[in-house]
Amino acid sequence: MTKDWSPRTKSVHSGTRRSQYGEMSEAIFLTQGFVYDSPEQAEARFIESGPDEFIYARYGNPTVRMFEDRIAALEGTEDAFATASGMAAVSGALTSMLKAGDHVVSAKALFGSCLYILEDVLTRFGVEVTFVDGTDLTAWKAAVRDDTKAVFLESVSNPTLEVIDVKGVAEIAHAKGATVVVDNVFATPAFSKAAELGADVIVYSATKHIDGQGRCLGGVICGTREFIRKTAEPYIKHTGGALSPFNAWVMLKGLETLHLRCNAQAESALFIAEALEGHNKLDRTLYPYLNSHPQQAVAKEQMGAGGTVISLDIQGGKDAAFRFLNALDIILISNNLGDSKSIVTHPATTTHQRLSDKKRAELGITDGLVRISIGLEDKADLLADIRTALDAV
């Protein structure tokens, strides 16, 4: 039975549906629609489709369903719905469950686009949003009310790597009947324990570690069958954020190597973070598993590893950070993460540029902060690349 398999076995086999040809590799059903034997069959399918019955690729597709079933098995949730991108998953999960007048509590340290959904989009439609310091359980307790419908957080925040106590927040939220929505990108499905810690809805940008090789955009929402099929699916299938079958196939193939990649990348990330800590050109070295990280204990309890991203605060602000980026040889300047190629990002001028100076300062996104997504290259080569670039600062 699938449920008895270990995560690595699930990530290779769960959800596979073979056609009559018994193909080894999952088939790509590159079709927008499906043919019915009769109008009666079409009518019946529109009333209720069985698990192997499809109507239109915006509603569902066999390759996409394989990806949904595999990630749900891995995450430990009843079901999942795949989306066109991580942001389609974040916005779909929230907007499908909220209406005007609802109250949401959110951690304030968020990826720029997540902040846009919470701060600009939801409030425009009459949802009240209270932002809190996500690492402070007393702040969550003070903010969550009897009428709070949902809480939202990134379990590890982008790019300052704050780790939020998912279990603690879930206990506070559940006491008031609120749904816990966790953006789990930095924790990765390989290290996630979000479902067992109490997250009700878990969203991923599959663009990151799930693909892991920089090819496709994708996202996924994991949750109970009731939430996925009755709340998320109707909203997404009618608003158009479905995942393409080709991208779902890439994500399925990505899941097969997810654990190998994430474990190797996290091991290198810890090695590099430990080696750089205390470097005379750095104000801060941020990595959840470092002894100096303020939430190291929470990270160790709720993540199987420290993740694949480190952030460095380089002394000397933007000029110093840009000199560092320009001096790197192996590590590429881009803005994705979780890729097999190491990537460096300067959040203040890219992913978080939209924020005011004041807001960035409040979130600890200094002009010297760089985020490095550690890839699959040799860790000694990466460390040497970073050290040489720091010498150039």
Binds ligand PLP (CB under 6 A): choice among 93, 182, 185, 303? 185
Q: How far apart are CA 126 and CA 196, in angstroms?
A: 32
183 binding ligand PLP? (CB under 6 A): yes
Q: Closest CB to ligand PLP belongs to which residue?
A: 86
Q: Does 347 bind ligand PLP (CB under 6 A)?
A: no
CA 202 to chain centre: 8
Degrees, nearest 5: CA angle 351-355-359: 125
Binding segment toward ligand PLP, per CB under 6 A, in 44-52, 84-92, 220-228, 360-368: 84-92
- Contact, 234 vs 96, CB < 8 A? yes
**Of the ranges 10-18, 46-54, 107-115, 365-373, which one interacts with ligand PLP (CB under 6 A)?**
107-115
Q: Between residue 151 and residue 170, which ones bind ligand PLP under the rule CB under 6 A? A: 154, 158
Nearer CB in complex with ligand PLP: 82/290: 82
Minimal CA–CA distance to 344: which of 376, 305, 306, 309?
A: 309
Shortest separation between residue 187's beta carbon and ligand PLP, angstroms: 10
Is residue 308 involved in binding ligand PLP (CB under 6 A)? Answer: no
Q: Can you tell me which of 104, 150, 217, 389 binds ligand PLP, judged by CB under 6 A?
A: 217
**Rounded Cα gap, residues 285 and 102, in angstroms:** 39
Question: Between residues 178 and 202, which has the closer beta carbon with respect to ligand PLP?
Answer: 202
Report the alpha-carbon angle 95-106-307, nearest 5: 100
288 binds ligand PLP (CB under 6 A): no
3-state percent breakdown (helix, strand, coil) of the chain, nearest 5: 45, 15, 40
Q: How far is the CB of 279 from ligand PLP (least distance, A)?
A: 26
Helices (H), the chain: 7-13, 39-47, 62-75, 86-97, 112-116, 122-124, 137-143, 166-175, 188-191, 194-197, 225-226, 233-239, 245-256, 258-276, 296-302, 317-327, 357-363, 379-391
Find the binding residues for ligand PLP in span 109-128 (CB under 6 A).
Answer: 111, 113-114
According to the binding rule CB under 6 A, does residue 81 interact with ligand PLP? no
Task: Give yes or no for residue 207 binding ligand PLP (CB under 6 A).
Answer: yes
Selected binder of ligand PLP within 219, 241, 245, 306 (CB under 6 A): 219
Residues at the site binding ligand PLP, with contacts judged by CB under 6 A: 85-87, 90, 111, 113-114, 154, 158, 183, 185, 205, 207, 217, 219
